[in-house]
Structure 1
Amino acid sequence: MTPEELSAARDRIVPDVAAGGLRVLFCGINPSLMTAATGHHFAHPGNRFWPVLHRSGFTPRQLRPSEQAELLDLGLGITNVVARATARADELSADEFREGGALLTAKVEQLAPRWLAVVGITAYRTAFGEPRARIGSQDRTVGGARVWALPNPSGLNAHWTVQSMAEEYARLRDAVLNVRPNDRPTPDPDSAH
């Protein structure tokens, strides 16, 4: 991708990967220029969404961004809080996030996913007026869907490793599957010998 091609992708809108009745609708902050240039969500090579999605157990193998449509067969989808592509999320205003939250609520009402997973706590806080929200399951619903705030998989988010993100995404997967921590099978200590 040339700098000119990336620059030309600024402000483009990337179509959602979505359908009615999904188990989880993942919601990014907004498309990167690489995503807008390719038309594939989480396409930047430094973005860890696809490896994390696989390691957390949501996908049977690590999908490439160009295989994003395969998510629908797994009951998963992708949208964004703000639709327009930028080089950095800090180019978005608080008003854009709030407007995006309202539009997202309407979209979720229409699509009726069981869970909305917002991938970026700051975006969630701003879009939905929840300044004290933490990573994890939220008390509120959006458009009738339960909400989980997840860490942003951008390579710029150095506070989270692929492994620690995969563990948090797996907590969501367990909630989606209604698996409580005590329901997980425990290894038989005698079988290790």
Structure 2
Amino acid sequence: MGGPGLRVLFSGINPSLYSAATGHHFARPGNRFWPALHRSGFTPRLLHPSEQWTLPESGLGITNVVARATARADELSPAELVAGGEILASLAGRWRPRYLAVLGVTAYRTAFARPKATMGPQPDRIAGVPVWVLPNPSGLNAHYTVDTLAAAFAELRDAAGPF
């Protein structure tokens, strides 16, 4: 969800089964996307996943690389990620956000054939749009806490500028 004039288009890897059932991005309890988004300063308060429709008011959009829901992102095939990356590139080219933020470095590497990509701003653009790779906020990603996720999100917020 989003449209033209976005500061950041956030792209998860794919919906969890829980998110697919609710129809809301990052809806599974324990997912740290919404707390990190708030703590980083992107939103003035903590949003519930059912409030995702308010994101464009803050210049934010949200989507996924792959639409198919799975229990775990590692259930996706490389071909699915590559095909999803092509769709995401088309979307980014149409909406032209200031930044495309992909949440998950492994998925980004596969979807966009960037095997050496690391977290943070990327040297390459996708459809002319600057790309920033953020950590996957899933509770399964134990390498990051809400605070370290928020710090990574805040770097992008600062780079994306005011709405």
User: Is residue 37 from structure 1 mapped to residue 21 from structure 2 by the alignment?
Assistant: yes
Match of 1:58 among 29, 42, 54: 42
Mapped pair 1:146 → 2:119? no
Q: Higher Cα Rg: structure 1 or 2?
A: 1
Paired residue total: 162
The alpha-carbon deviation at position 107 of structure 1 amounts to: 0.9
**Aligned partner (choices 131, 145, 149) of residue 115 of structure 2:** 131
- In the alignment, structure 1 segments of 5+ residues that lack a partner are 1-16, 179-193
> In the alignment, what sits opposite 1:88?
72
State the alpha-carbon separation in 1 of the partners of residues 74 and 128 from structure 2.
29
Q: Structure 1 vs Structure 2: percent identity of aligned residues? A: 64
2:51 to 39, 46, 67: 67
Q: Per chain length, whose mean CA-contact separation is higher, i.e. which structure has more relative contact order (CA < 8 Å, sep 6+)?
A: 2
Deviation of 1:18 after TM superposition, in Å, equals 1.3
Q: Is residue 112 of structure 1 aligned with residue 96 of structure 2? A: yes
Aligned equivalent of 1:20: 4
Q: Which residue of 1 aligns with 2:144?
A: 160
Return the letter of the residue paired with 1:58.
F
The letter of the residue matching 2:23 is G
TM-score (norm 2): 0.97
**Distance of 1:18 and 1:31 partners within structure 2:** 17
Q: For residues 18 and 73 of structure 1, what CA distance do their matches in structure 2 show? A: 10
- The separation in 2 between residues aligned to 1:161 and 1:171, in whole angstroms, is 16
Quote how far apart the aligned CAs of 1:110 are.
1.0
Rounded Cα–Cα distance in structure 2 between residues aligned with 1:132 and 1:108: 22
Letter aligned with residue 68 of structure 1: Q
What secondary structure does 2:67 align onto? coil
SS in 1 for 2:122: strand
Q: Secondary structure at the match of 2:63?
A: strand
Spell out structure 1 runs of 4+ moving beyond 3 A: none
Q: Distance in 2 between matches of 1:143 and 1:21?
A: 15
For structure 2, the residue ranges without an aligned partner over 5 or more in a row are: none
> Could you say what the CA RMSD is over the residues aligned between the two structures, in angstroms?
0.9
